[in-house]
Structure 1
Amino acid sequence: MQPRIVGTTMPVLELSLEPGEHLIAEGGDVSWLSPGFGMETSTAFGSGGRGGFMSGLKRLIGGGQLFLTKYTAPRTGGFVAFAAQLPGVIRELQIDAADVYMVQQGSFMVSTNDVEVSVGLQKKLGGGIFGGAGVVFQKLSGNGTAWVQLAGEIVEYDLAAGESLLVHPGHLALFRAEMPLEFATVKGVKNKFFGDSMFLAQIHGPGHVWLQSMTPSKLAAAIEPYLPRDTSPPSSST
């Protein structure tokens, strides 16, 4: 399998497969592909060769899809392409027993068959007058290769033992699964829900962490004022 990442702001991941090779992706995420691929959908895919419906259910709880699709290359080989859903970058991760990762919900793109995609962490943050917000991370384990999409520009840090970093949860894109993570309130800063504190994630070393400059919620908030609105008066019934 030969990967190729094309583009800058909105990159595309193109994977060239030899005859009989296959990969796993969430249904509907494929952008284009060469003819002849076999396609099969199941809850068992993305479970590292283990489990079935329950593995799919755990993945669903973790913000992914219940069903994943396996793409199998024809006898002549071929390629499959996946376009990023947000401006940012695509990163390749090598997964094995020593390299397990936690990735922000919605960032997983595609993987080889023996990578397990499951729920890693769920946390509801705050109450506030709007009911608070939540953060979900998916866990990538097993043995193989996975590709993830991260939003905006990426800043990486290596934290040594005893070091930690306070991060807005939406900017915490990817980190090694063995790194302890906790959430705390920071007093004195009014949050967007008019609370008296701000929730931050505190991640502890040792380990590597990837931070993203863009979050889906902030992108949506920036676009929202420019979306068309229905200004027509409500119709009256007679």
Structure 2
Amino acid sequence: MQVNLLYRPSQALAQCWLQNGESVVAESGAMVGMSTNVQMQTQSGGLMKGLKRLFGGESFFRNTFTAQGGQGEVLFATPLCGDMAVLEAGHKQWCIQNSAYVASSPSVDVKTKTGGFKGMFSGAGLFLLETSGMGQVVIGTFGALEQVQVDGSMVIDTGHLAAWESTLQYKVGKSGSGWIASFLSGEGLVCHFEGQGTVYLQSRNAAEYGSTIGALLPPRQQ
């Protein structure tokens, strides 16, 4: 699979070229368009796996696109405006914030990982996504995408996390000296990363954006 990222950085679109018989797996609703020789199949991967995806903030189903009779093209995008990146899984594996996942090679197993209360309070839902296997993973962010190298420790706002190397250790905590200070600061919860590895950040926080826009809308008429 060859992935070209077009219209970066604010209106990114992933163009995936598939050889005859080659496939790509994508989040439901991510497809923008495809050539006529590409066949799509929808599957949940089993009831329990589908339910874990659903509670993790993903859709219940994922779609598999396969080129037949020659080279095929599939276009993917995210619901919100922003950038995209292609991660290589294999030597490195990744934890992905559920809304950042777009598509991946079939050889990459993208599992829903139970994060317990740590995952729930991290702003990524009760579940995170974690990769295994080898291949490519396409992620999409809201706003600009920044690649940060952690060498020791770093503190990152949970709403701006997109993906990070699975070797990094993290814990969720308050941004200020106490819970009241954290609440008044408007920063909320942060992730404390430890170790060495890469973190991908998004410059915009979808939840904060939604709250801001919602406050400007006129009240609904009953």
Q: What TM-score comes out, normalization by structure 1 length?
A: 0.79
**2:158 counterpart of 1:169:** yes
> What is the SS of the residue equivalent to 1:88?
coil
CA contact (8 A) 1:10 1:84 kept: no
* Map of 1:48 onto structure 2: none
Q: Equivalent pairs: percent with the same residue? A: 25
Q: Matched residues in 2 for 1:205 and 1:72: separation? A: 39
Change (3 A) 1:228 1:83: farther
Change (3 A) 1:201 1:152: same
Q: Matched residues in 2 for 1:111 and 1:56: separation? A: 17
- Aligned pairs for 1:1-80 (under 5 A) are 1-8=1-8, 9-44=10-45, 52-80=46-74
Change (3 A) 1:165 1:121: farther
Q: CA deviation at 1:149?
A: 0.4
**2:155 counterpart of 1:154:** no
Q: CA deviation at 1:101?
A: 0.4
Q: Matched residues in 1 for 2:173 and 2:40: separation? A: 44
Q: 1:187 aligns with which of 177, 182, 187?
A: 177
Q: What TM-score comes out, normalization by structure 2 length?
A: 0.85
Please identify which structure carries the higher helix content: 2
> What is the SS of the residue equivalent to 1:206?
strand
CA RMSD, 1 decimal = 2.6
Change (3 A) 1:2 1:196: closer
Q: Matched residues in 2 for 1:205 and 1:70: separation? A: 35
Q: Matched residues in 2 for 1:195 and 1:87: separation? A: 27
Q: What are the Cα deviations for residues 117-160 of structure 1, in whole angstroms up to 9, with x where unaligned? A: 122353557xxxxxx88433311222211100022223332222
Change (3 A) 1:181 1:92: same
CA contact (8 A) 2:30 2:78 kept: no
Q: 1:203 aligns with which of 193, 197, 200?
A: 193
> What is the SS of the residue equivalent to 1:28?
coil
Q: 1:178 aligns with which of 144, 162, 167?
A: 167
